[in-house]
Structure 1
Amino acid sequence: MKAWRSLLWLLALLVATPVLGQSIMERLVTPGPLSNAHAKLESNCAACHSSFKKEAQNGKCASCHKGIAGDIASGTHFHGRFGPARGGTCKSCHSEHKGRNVRLANLNAATFNHGLSDFPLTGKHARLACTSCHRQAPHYRGAPHDCASCHGAKDPHRGQFGRNCASCHTTAGWKPATGFDHARTGFTLVGAHRSATCAACHTGGRFKGIGRTCVSCHARDDAHRGSRGTNCASCHTSTTWKSATFDHSSTGFSLIGGHAQAACAGCHGPGNANKHPGRTCIGCHARDDTHKGKNGTDCASCHNPRGWKQTSFDHEKMTGFALRGPHRTAACAACHVQPPKVAKPPVTCFGCHAKDDSHKGANGMDCARCHTVTTWKSSNFNHNTMTDFPLAGAHAKAKCEDCHMQGAPKAQISAQCGTCHAKDDVHAKRLGQDCARCHASTGWKANIRFDHDLTKFPLLGKHSALQCASCHVDRSFAAKGTACQDCHTDKHHAGTLGTPAKCRSCHNSTDWKSWSFDHDRATRFALTGKHQGLVCSACHSRPGDPAKVSTKCIDCHRRTDPHRGGFGEDCERCHVTSSFNQIIMGAQRKP
């Protein structure tokens, strides 16, 4: 009992005896060096701690950090709104004595709720990096809230509209300025003016002294070059510059048909220099006359102003050759290579379409036997009734020349699949020529009649939806092996769980990522405490037999040993797996 009393007096003496600012006891029990922010307080423990009074520590923090203390008292800013900061201890978030370079505020920018601050992030602010506004971190609470503090240097108005940017702009986008009503200036934006950019009228960022007449802005756009005066609104509207309301019938030449959509310069020339152009068709359209004058100058005898290509010429009555099907829409020059007065075109199909004959004359010149004037590709030849090979499935959509490369009368095609599809045989004849044994005419890759479940490797789970070539890369369709590693290279574990990999120990064919492995029962090392939930590679990081991985703590935690080997390698003598910081002095060794 006397020995204990002596020890207590000695401890009291040590605590009360300051040496270089710290008592001997303080120097002995200090957990570690302070961070750079508090390094100057390292010799003064009392600045942050009160002996035997943990509850006084928050008050010590508040005495230095007065701004944050005020936030907590007023319920403002982050510390005043965040529950754990408002009612908990400072050290629960800001842990000290972990070294000089440790950050006291371990802020996670990805998960931080900025809504707890006095400035919720909306619009494009929500996608910005923290340093975009907080350029002098970690002084986050001192960042300004007004727009001009951040955006003043980029203000295109150069301060002409003051610093209250939010009166016109929103955080959703700098442009457009949805909050600005141009009607307040006395010039309401209507028509095309509504979609014009501000700079289109306010060049150089000038917003005062801007003219309000059309010509003040559009003088350079005046195609008339001033010949029609300066009152643009007499013909044009703000809806579109090219939409003019000028009544051309007042000139004695009404604009109808294609003339109604023609540009003024089309007849009046650039700048409307030609005020009185000719009124006859040939007067304007001589260059457009594809007949080169051979059919005369009376264009209106065939053409009309609705469209240059719309003619009133009755081909059947005037030539005896009725234009049907695509002939009705064909250009005159397609058949009349020479003017009608010089040479008349033939009236037989082959006479015009010899070059289009895909049969190269092998089927004769009577095109109408199979084809119609409706469309060249629409044939009335019935392959099902006129041959011994009915066209079914994909064959019904095939072109004649796909099979009849030399013309039907000259070459009889065999009905065997291999006759036409030898080049398409991805199996390179290794599975024989009886394609119909597995394939159907409906589609080469569709309705394949092969039951893989009858083989030694039934397709289960993810395997059932795979394409054949996913496993049979060489398309030989020979046995590839039934072990997982025969197809799946161990890229993820890279041999750290054994070679060859025993995938089935954990994985199944239902889902590669849906795996199960009972480490406690299947191994001699039960996962307890912090070991639970670790990824395999946390311990099994090197190739080799996983069963040979050491179970000693020090073999994994040597780098993180704060004692640097000073207490030996038997970590479990003091530590437990539930928490590295939880120390049980005199803990029992593992047998």
Structure 2
Amino acid sequence: MASSRLPLLALLAAALAAPAPAARADVFSPGPLSRAHEKLEGLQQCTKCHVVKGQLSAARCLECHQELAGRVKQGRGLHGRLPAADREACNRCHLEHQGRDFALVDWGGPKERFDHARTGYRLEGKHAAARCDGCHAPARIADPGVKQLLAREPGRRTFLGAPQACASCHFDEHRGQLSQDCQKCHGLQGWKPASLFAHDRTGYPLEGKHRPVACAKCHKVEREPARDPGALTRPASPEAFTRYRPVAHGGCQDCHKDPHQARFGQDCQRCHAPALAWTEVRATAKERAFHQKTRYPLQGAHETVACQACHGPFAGQPARFRGLAFQACRDCHLDAHVGQLTGGSRAGACERCHTVQGWQPARFDLEDHTTSRYALQGAHRTVACSLCHVHDPRLADRVPAEARARLAREKRPARVSPALFSLGPSQRCEQCHADPHAGQFPERMARESCAACHEQQSFLPARFDHQKDSRFPLTGKHGKAACASCHAPGAAGAVRYKPLETACAACHRDPHAGQLAVNGRDDCARCHDTRDWKQTSFQHAPPFTTFLLQGKHARAKCEACHAPVAVGGGAPVRRYRGLPRTCEGCHADFHQGAFRGFTP
């Protein structure tokens, strides 16, 4: 028995001493690696993860997983925040050698219940119910290093590199009006209401009656299609958004309609305050009562003017209460028309057009215009003032430097009316109106201007006689033709009146297709006149033709000889030229050639 075992033991020892084939070496592996690590399969590669004669090395893991090495070193993220003992034992959460399809990550339960606070980013409010793959999607990765990793290994799955800024995942409902720091106004419990927003921190704190005003009263909804950059959330309204910036708020008139129509100026807070109701006016009557006993009682808009505006003190000047000029408006006020109205019957008297109740509206009507150099007549009486007296911002440059300096000392604005009243000496139509004829009538315009054909009552109908005022009197059917049938818009858009050809062929198609042209020109008037096209003066005799109609020919119908022929691409045309003149050219030979060559 013993002798029989010796060869067997020797054989086994020899087998163990001999090098094992690679195919047999896997028998000693604890089990197959996961699919993510299958390229490390084989005993020859064990030391890439395991230290010789040691256990699994966390340092070896980080040599491959460089995306984690930096975070661990900086103490960031899930791995960087782990206790030191757990960081040295990767296999506590990532168990290997369990087969190709074994999950490498042990979440400690369902993935959806993972404690996200361990990463350093706690999921609160609406974030707590968010799906993992909604935020951890390859398209949302912001970290450059993680992006490079995925570029090298497209099949890699990672939860690293997700952004934390609101705008990285959420559509900007404000369309770029406000900053990207959403958490200044919004909390994680929900987008609405903006629980952290405070209007007092803006450039326009809400006071008094402004506080209960609904936001939508000032912040209007505007229409603009949303340009979605691929946000996780969709816009609340793809076609509309609320305007938050810029919103005009420099003066009360930016939001409120002035019920006084500017009669009391633009400074509403002289009488009104946000803390008071609109009908509650500041107590100014007592302050003004004394002035009513002076030589200049305050009336109209003057009642609300601050005392300092007239009496000072001003820069370098003490307050003055005696010896102030007040006989004329210009003693205090700048000439808002900067010298445009210094001449004429209304010169220098502001009160002829304005009252102390307010600068506008001006007291100047149609009858007042008759005293000017240009009395309004006809349709001009219905034209809005601003269409002739246009706004010219250059008028503000005419304010004298001395007047500007005085106003600056008194802290008063240099208000100038932008309306242009100095329209020049000319009263010709073209000074205000564009030439609708684009310069087709230079001689008439130079001689009589537009009034040669048009009246002030209305531009149409024009006072134009085609029989006398043109070189082409309208006769016959031409007298009934619509103007537009001959005078069509030209290349410049203006209706073309001259030069126009007067030959028939310029307007009418030649129904004879050039058969009757003389020297290359159609002379329609040889046979036709403007009364009726079909009634012609043509006769089958000289000078019209040398082929006289005699005998039976005189009773033949025209179309019997002049049959229609097809002309390329057009309607059939009757043939008049090139017709045969011999009998056999039109008639069949009843004698069947029996008299051919017969000479009577």
| TM score, norm. by length of structure 2 | 0.32
> Which protein has the bigger helix share?
1
| TM score, norm. by length of structure 1 | 0.33
Greater RCO, CA 8 A, separation 6+:
2
Greater gyration radius = 2
